[in-house]
Amino acid sequence: MTYVVTENCIKCKYMDCVEVCPVDCFYEGENFLVIHPDECIDCGVCEPECPAEAIKPDTEPGLDSWLQLNAKFAASWPNITQKKDSPADAKEFDGVPNKLELLSPEPGEGD
Task: Tell me: does residue 105 bind ligand SF4 (CB under 6 A).
Answer: no
3-state SS class at 102: helix
For residues 108 and 32, what is the distance between their CA atoms, to the nearest angstrom? 8
Residues 5-64 that bind ligand SF4 (CB under 6 A): 5, 9, 12-17, 20-21, 23, 25, 33, 35, 40-46, 50, 52, 54-55
Least CB distance from residue 96 to ligand SF4, whole Å?
13
Could you tell me if 46 and 37 are in contact, meaning their C-beta atoms sit under 8 angstroms apart? no
Could you tell me if 97 and 9 are in contact, meaning their C-beta atoms sit under 8 angstroms apart? no
For residues 40 and 104, what is the distance between their CA atoms, to the nearest angstrom? 23
CB nearer to ligand SF4: pick between 13 and 99: 13
Task: Tell me: does residue 99 bind ligand SF4 (CB under 6 A).
Answer: no
68-81: b (≥16 Cβ within 10 Å) or e:
ebbbebbeebeebe
Q: Which stretch binds ligand SF4 (CB under 6 A): 2-10, 58-66, 70-78, 98-106?
A: 2-10
CB nearer to ligand SF4: pick between 23 and 64: 23
Residues that bind ligand SF4 (CB under 6 A): 3, 5, 9, 12-17, 20-21, 23, 25, 33, 35, 40-46, 50, 52, 54-55
